[in-house]
Amino acid sequence: MAGFIGRRILWGALVLLLVAVITFFLSRVVPADPAAFLAGQNASEETVARIRAEHGLDQPMLLQFRDYATGLVQGDLGESIRTRRPVAQDMAQFLPATLELLLVSFAAYLVLSLSLAILAVRRPGGAMDGAVRLFTMLGTGIPVFWLGMALQFVFYYKLQWFPLGARFPIREIAPPEVTGFLLVDCLIAGNPGAFVSALQYIALPALTVVLNLLAVGTRMSRAALLAERERLYVRTARGKGLSPRQVLFGHMLRNALSPILTVTTIQFGYLLSWVILVEVIFDWPGIGLYAFQSFQVFDYSPVIALALVSTFGFVVLNLLADLLYPVIDPRVEAVTS
Amino acid sequence: MSAPAATFRAARRIDWLAMAALVVVALLAVFALMPGVVAPYDPIALDVVNRLKPPSPAHPFGTDEAGRDIFSRVIYGTRYSMGVALAIVAFAAVFGTLYGVVSGMAPRWLDNLMMRIVDMVFGFPALVLALAISAAIGRGLDSVTLALSLMWWPGFARLVRGEVLRLKTEPHVETARALGLGPVTIMWRHIVPFVMSAVNVRATTDIGYALVAVTALSFLGLGATSPTPEWGLLIRDSRPYFGSAWWYLVFPGGIVMLTATACSLLGDALDARKGA
């Protein structure tokens, strides 16, 4: 088991290194000149050259990467040309907003998708199952950005139920920053009013994420549960006289957890890669929006940093999943050790 | 209701939906191949007097901020959005299938190495790659096609490799091997034909997902540039007016959703037939 984990960690490090190499070279083969952009339109040749030298942009590509890689190991992600601050510092500032959105929406997604799948499987082919299948069928085709805009239109423009465009009302005083997670900070400050405000701001982006994940997730969880229904142990359990509820929760759900974990990992990975879209639509001040805004002004260090951070998240996520499989299904242990 | 009757009803219902999906896809093919026949207006011609008009008999989907007919723009857009989605899935299916077959047939160490590479590509954030590529070679549908093609093939590679590993132990393949046929012959004549149905199902469903991804990148401004009537770009352009002109948002988004759903339904129908 320890050897297995060691190999996985080593592999994860290798993946990160390769992602660093790829993104670095892609971003430096650009036709646009970051130094010229930074210097402004009317800058002289000398100014541009000076700025280029300052940022090491005049060095050979390999040397630039060597400096970059050395910095990476020391936690230096370079400097953002746009914000004129270290990227690591920017990322640390914007990361909690992204994590908060990810965690809140993913928790809601897990609860909802499992509940819907269970409701559907209780009587396959029944009315509830039909409704769930109709929902998953329609839901898979909705582009997430379009869904986000539609929700904005209905709940912000028409009904005016929810605010838009930040994490917290500008006119109110935000609670002192302790964790960076606004919801948690509000609770620490003992301010239920602020907590409700923050909750209102996160509601629409989170709802967008949840609805986007829900269709595919429910569909796959339902399939996993249905597959268990055909197994012999279900027949045995029924034969013993267990109620349908006991069979479903005590036996089928327990056995379907492995495939459901697989689905969950895939969904979270997908979300890591696409949460940037939701952040852009809702002006949610996370690392995705930060990287995207930098990208638009040819400032690439934040984009590389985002790639590294999301790949890191993906590697950790898969490691966690690998560790969880033997816990939920002891039979897996034999394979991994 | 007896079990066979339920199965029969289920089968009939799925067929109905698949038929509807087929009609949608056929219509899209017509739109893509002969947009001029269907579209009532020039998708690019300006008509500033009639800007942001709600749907009417003259403009069934309304008009945009330059007075262009949104219905015509959606029709002409089929070629761009669906063309790119098809290109991505075609590349991914061909390359992924070859990769998966080779990996499944290869010695164990090579198979392992090839699958680790697949894991790695899976771990790479697609959107960030798209940002990097469009930074490197410029914004446009070309860089969107390139970025998404590079990200899309591993799904096919994994699927096909799994099928190959299963097929390798099938009697007809073992017979072929016992007869002394070479690995290349076995691969082409006895393995590849049997993985194609799974690849077809996956490809059909994936066209819808690819379409959603393409429009998402265009929406972010990485893909098509104005005044190309690409669907994602239409949705992007509608953003400033979304409080006042609902039709501008609803119709282009609706066509993306309809198309993606149709692809997914067709994939399901193919899958069901494959199992039968």
Q: Is A187 exposed, middle or buried (0-12, 13-18, 19+ CB in 10 A)?
A: middle
Is the pLDDT assigned to residue A220 strictly greater than 90?
no
What is the domain-level CATH number for residue B175? 1.10.3720.10
Among A75-79, B19-23, B55-59, B212-216, the range scoring the smallest mean pLDDT is A75-79
Least CB–CB distance from A143: residue in B119, B216, B263: B216
Q: What is the pLDDT of residues B118-139, one digit of tens each?
A: 887 877 778 877 887 777 777 8
pLDDT tier, A77 (very low <50, low <70, confident <90, very high otherwise): confident
Average pLDDT over residues A167-172: 74
Instruction: Tell me the range of B133-137, B258-262, B265-269 where mean pLDDT is highest.
Output: B258-262
Answer yes or no: is B50 within a domain. Answer: no
* Mean pLDDT of the residues in chain B: 86
Q: What is the pLDDT of residues A259-286, one digit of tens each?
A: 888 888 888 888 888 888 899 989 899 9
Contact state of B136 with A27 under an 8 Å Cβ cutoff: yes
Least CB–CB distance from A295: residue in B120, B131, B216: B131
Cα B16 to Cα A30, B12, B22, B198, B200: the distances in Å are 51, 6, 10, 22, 21
**ipTM score for this prediction:** 0.80
Residue span of the structural domain in which B152 resides: 4-45+61-275
| SS (HEC) of chain A | CHHHHHHHHHHHHHHHHHHHHHHHHHHHCCCCCHHHHHHCCCCCHHHHHHHHHHCCCCCCHHHHHHHHHHHHHCCCCCECCCCCCEHHHHHHHHHHHHHHHHHHHHHHHHHHHHHHHHHHHHCCCCHHHHHHHHHHHHHCCCCHHHHHHHHHHHHHHHCCCCCCCCCCCCCCCCCCCCCCCHHHHHHHCCCHHHHHHHHHHHHHHHHHHHHHHHHHHHHHHHHHHHHHHCCHHHHHHHHCCCCHHHHHHHHHHHHHHHHHHHHHHHHHHHHHHHHHHHHHHHCCCCHHHHHHHHHHCCCCHHHHHHHHHHHHHHHHHHHHHHHHHHHHCHHHHHHHC
Answer yes or no: is B213 within a domain. Answer: yes
Answer yes or no: is B56 within a domain. Answer: no
Domains of chain A by range and CATH? 93-284 (1.10.3720)
In the three-class reduction of DSSP (H, G, I as helix; E, B as strand; rest coil), residue B63 is classed as: strand
Looking at residue A27, its pLDDT comes to: 64
What's CA A244's distance to the chain center, in Å?
A: 36
Looking at residue A29, its pLDDT comes to: 61
Is the pLDDT assigned to residue A30 strictly greater than 60?
no
Instruction: Tell me the range of A231-245, B6-20, B203-217 where mean pLDDT is highest.
Output: B203-217
Is the pLDDT assigned to residue A171 strictly greater than 80?
no
pLDDT tier, B276 (very low <50, low <70, confident <90, very high otherwise): very low
Q: How many domains does chain B have?
A: 1
- Residues whose CB falls within 8 Å of the CB of residue B196, separated by 6 or more in sequence, listed in order: none
* Mean pLDDT of the residues in chain A: 83
Q: Identify which of A256, A234, A257 has the alpha carbon closest to the alpha carbon of residue A247.
A: A234
Q: How many CA atoms lie within 13 A of A229 on its CB side?
A: 16
Answer yes or no: is B91 within a domain. Answer: yes
Q: What is the pLDDT of residues A37-62, one digit of tens each?
A: 666 667 777 887 887 777 777 777 78
Among A174-188, A237-251, B215-229, the range scoring the smallest mean pLDDT is A174-188
Looking at residue B245, its pLDDT comes to: 85
Chain B residues inside the 8 Å CB shell of A141: 208, 212, 256-261, 263-264
Looking at residue B13, its pLDDT comes to: 55
Mutate to test the interface with B, among A149, A274, A319 (most CBs of B within 10 A): A149
Contact state of A146 with B259 under an 8 Å Cβ cutoff: no
pLDDT tier, B1 (very low <50, low <70, confident <90, very high otherwise): very low
Contact state of B242 with A22 under an 8 Å Cβ cutoff: no
Q: What is the pLDDT of residues B34-92, one digit of tens each?
A: 888 888 888 888 888 888 888 888 888 988 888 888 999 999 999 999 999 999 999 99
Answer yes or no: is B237 within a domain. Answer: yes
Q: What is the pTM of this model?
A: 0.85
Q: Identify which of B213, B225, B251 has the alpha carbon closest to the alpha carbon of residue B85.
A: B213
Q: Is A170 exposed, middle or buried (0-12, 13-18, 19+ CB in 10 A)?
A: exposed
Is the pLDDT assigned to residue A36 strictly greater than 80?
no
How many Å lie between the alpha carbon of B93 and the closest alpha carbon of chain A? 20
Looking at residue B234, its pLDDT comes to: 92
Contact state of A303 with B128 under an 8 Å Cβ cutoff: yes
Answer yes or no: is B52 within a domain. Answer: no
Contact state of A140 with B220 under an 8 Å Cβ cutoff: no
